[in-house]
Chains A and B, each alone.
Chain A
Amino acid sequence: EPEVTQTPSHQVTQMGQEVILRCVPISNHLYFYWYRQILGQKVEFLVSFYNNEISEKSEIFDDQFSVERPDGSNFTLKIRSTKLEDSAMYFCASRDRVGNEKLFFGSGTQLSVL
């Protein structure tokens, strides 16, 4: 079965540094998402992306965050200046079309900000 691929699986960075988390959604999917999960807490929506623009974002997704689909396959999440509280597991997800509400998730990138 096709799957969403995320790299790297683990990322360690210093506070204040920029990080880019990468995702390759399933190839014929049209809607792309980033979620995060702080250890022991629930999965939180960050942003959705459709037709090359952000369709919705949460309060967490402030000016420090940005997303991009630089080519036909990759979908990236950039955190400009990381904070300690950005430490979390970040999940990318995608879905194929309107009318199919099922999301496919990647295995996540564990981000540790020191």
Chain B
Amino acid sequence: AQSVAQPEDQVNVAEGNPLTVKCTYSVSGNPYLFWYVQYPNRGLQFLLKYITGDNLVKGSYGFEAEFNKSQTSFHLKKPSALVSDSALYFCAVRGGDSNYQLIWGAGTKLIIKP
């Protein structure tokens, strides 16, 4: 069965420090991987996606993610966290042989402290 795991319910980081939000997946075929962010009382906003090519993907707001096929991971990173990065982050995956449906992680709450 296809699945996505975000192993941390919450991540706390001091402002200015690097941040990592973890995501691992299990799909058949080549994975298509996505990160979205949700600010309080808002819908989800697209951050970045991996389809093929370079394993390091750059996205919005200075975020990037690294695709690691051997570890089946797609961790979200940012070199220097801002208080405004505090939000709920979702990882999602679609298997290469699936239809339009995305499989979603449970979400990770990121808290950046001043």
A and B: bona fide binding partners: no
Q: Which A residues fall within an 8 A CB radius of B?
A: none
Q: Which B residues fall within an 8 A CB radius of A?
A: none
